[in-house]
Chains A and B, each alone.
Chain A
Amino acid sequence: MNKAEIDWSVSQRQGGSALLIIILKTIIDLVKNIWPFAIAILLTGKSNRSDKLEWFLILFSFIVLVRSLLEFYFFRFQIIKDELVIHKGVFTKKIIVLPLEKIIAVHIDQTWLHQLLSSAKVSFDSAGSIKTEVVIDAIPLTKAESLRQFITESKPLPGIEESKTKVQPYVQPIISLSANDILKLCISANHIEGLFILIAFGLSVVYNISEATGKETTGLLSWVYERIDTNTVSGILFLGFALLLVSITVSIILVLLRYSNFRIVRSEKGFSIRSGLINTKEKLVPFRKIQYLSWKANWLREKMGIFLLHFHAAGTLEIKERMEVKVPVTQKRFITEILKDYHDLLPVKELKPLRVDKAYITRNILLRGILPSVVFFIFFWFNISWTASWFFLLIPYAAFTGWLFWKKFRLWAIPEALQIKKGIFGIEKSILIWNKIQSVQYSQSIFQRRKKLATLKLFTAGGVVNIPYIMHEEAMKIYNNALFKIESENKPWM
């Protein structure tokens, strides 16, 4: 298909493949909503179960087909006078008009079915605060790319001056993960998270079946419990080993699903991020939307030199979630490459760092150690008597975590940007250009007033940067400097 031939002003239907995708979507929607009832119908009464099943399948197929056909038939889209117009809805007609200038990102996503049919889902993020409803379920991939190109090229991006020396787009992706990188990510993944996901999924299935059938479904759990003798060491070891194995498997699967085929390509307007093994997702994060960047690692990943980089983008919560991309940084040069379009890393060795005051440890012991342990001790003392004194272990834990935070925290600032390093067991680094700040808050508690300390919050459209327990004079310097930079320079923040 020749991209230039497409006349977007003419009303368009989704591609033929869309019907298949809509049918699948409808099936999934219906199954999600009615599967407990379906099980209930099939499980109750033994006499005419096959009749019930036949009727259920006929009715289900009929509903799916009619709903999908109507949805497909009534969905049309076109671009009229710099506005994307979408007509949809069967009983409630809906016309969505989205000015092209309001579109801040165009996403192209491909599930396995889309890949099979060479089509793609196109969705649009707008600058408005309302929930984005503009989604085209399936059009041919070439057409989707053409539509994205048409939209991004037809509108000038507000707040960005046309650069005379345009950066040539990279032919090679700036980040792509090798098998070795994926293996590293699998090893260092949060396996506890994988276990919790599995437990939550299992419990929700058990709960749904129980709700639908009205029967006790704890039988299976009891059966498993009875067979594992938790009183013996071997039983406990077996249970622990099984849980460990399951959680590692789940987290490895999650990493493979999320990061297979992962690559980032730099275009003129932003980062194009593609990822996913079965469901391929492609997101465009415009440079101007990025408010600040942070990258973090847990203890193991820090040792292995792997970080997860986070774009803190401006926009509504929904847009932020859609742009939430955790970029696995397996090589140090990846960070330098990504930061090129925001701000280079600060020369920290040449700068004097600002540190959190030692009083932070005392505060941590008071608020996160002594206070909760005393409350828990009093609350549980009536039930478990002196065993509740175990809660006092929170005090050394709070002291240790407070000390770790104090030890790791560093802030470096130059006239253009500031960089922060912090963490407790892991590490998190972030970089923020002064100009991206929206407002500044200076706070002092009674304890801080006595110690001449203060906490600063730098609010950006992508999140908050917190600078706790620094000297009052330093806090005021940062506060005044932030305001001075925002007010004296006429640089757009987005």
Chain B
Amino acid sequence: MNFLNEQLQPGQIPDAMQINWQPVEKNYLKVLRLQWLIVSTVILIVAVVLIALIAEFRKLPQLLLITAAWLCVILFYFFIQEKSFRHLAYAVREHDILYRHGWIVQHMIACPFNRIQHCSADMGPLDRRYKLSSLTIFTAGASGADLRIAGLKESDAQNLREFIMHKIKTDEQSGN
């Protein structure tokens, strides 16, 4: 057998920065906003219960402080969510799948197909309302190595899952 070990120039290694990113569905922003609304309401209910139970909190300065804190938290959460959404995107290449997320800290995670153990598509109650789905890709890697792409169209998530599973199977058979 001829052993080949051709030298590759730096330019020949595919660059992950030169990628056409595919943004997630716009409807996912609605899901995120609904999530924000639910979380904000829950925090508000907790604050109201605390105010009702603890007499100390019913004084004007404390009430103002609690209201200001609540507003700060939910507005900051809303702002971060809106900013993060613009950065959410994924890309499928011949040999791997990439996902970028986050705004304060921007992450770009790549998962080669030949390292994927299995993948699943799931829908939460809010996702169902907008016919969206999340695709989770599991590797054998340590905690944090798995990849979860939220905000995909239900059919896209299913197709992507099928594609990945088929890809893993054919790659295993062909020995690639």
Interface residues of A (CB under 8 A from B): 314, 437-446, 449, 457, 459-464, 476-477, 479-481, 483-484, 486-487, 490, 493-494
Contact = CB atoms under 8 A, between A and B. Distances in A.
Nearest to B147: A439
A440 B15 contact: no
Interface stretch (B29-37, B51-59, B108-116, B120-128): B108-116
Contact of B140 (A314, A441, A443, A444): A314
A217 to B, nearest CB: 36
Given A314-B140, A439-B139, A459-B145, A476 B15 contact: yes
Given A439-B112, A461-B141, A480-B16, A487 B106 contact: no
Nearest to B12: A484
Contacts of B114: 486-487, 490
Contacts of A460: 141-142
B95 A439 contact: no
B140 A483 contact: no
Contact of A464 (B144, B147, B176): B144
B105 interface: yes
What secondary structure prevails in chain A residues at the interface with B? mixed
A479 B16 CA distance: 8
B17 interface: yes
A439 B110 contact: yes
A438 B13 contact: no
Contact of A442 (B107, B113, B139): B107
A397 to B, nearest CB: 25
15 contacts: A439-B110, A441-B110, A444-B105, A459-B139, A464-B143, A464-B144, A464-B145, A479-B16, A480-B13, A480-B14, A481-B13, A483-B16, A483-B110, A484-B14, A487-B112
A81 B139 CA distance: 31
A382 to B, nearest CB: 15
B104 A439 contact: no
Interface of B: 8, 10, 13-17, 95-96, 102, 104-115, 139-145, 147, 175-176
Given A457-B144, A461-B140, A484 B13 contact: yes
A476 B109 CA distance: 12
A441 B144 contact: yes
Nearest to A491: B114
Contacts of B14: 480, 483-484
A487 B111 CA distance: 10
Give the 6 A-B residue pairs with the shortest CB-CB distance, closest first: A438-B141, A459-B145, A459-B141, A487-B95, A461-B140, A438-B139
A437 B176 CA distance: 17
A445 B107 contact: no
Contacts of A463: 142
Contacts of A464: 141-145
Contacts of B147: 439
Contact of B109 (A440, A480, A486): A440
Contact of B17 (A314, A476, A483): A476
Given A444-B105, A444-B106, A487-B95, A439 B15 contact: no
A487 B96 contact: yes
Instruction: With a 10 A CB-CB cut-off, give which of A459, A479, A481, A494 has the most chain B CB atoms.
Output: A459
Given A460-B141, A480-B13, A493-B115, 15 more contacts: A438-B139, A439-B111, A439-B115, A441-B109, A441-B110, A442-B16, A446-B104, A446-B105, A449-B106, A459-B139, A459-B141, A464-B145, A477-B10, A484-B13, A487-B114
B62 to A, nearest CB: 16
A443 B13 contact: no
B106 A443 contact: yes
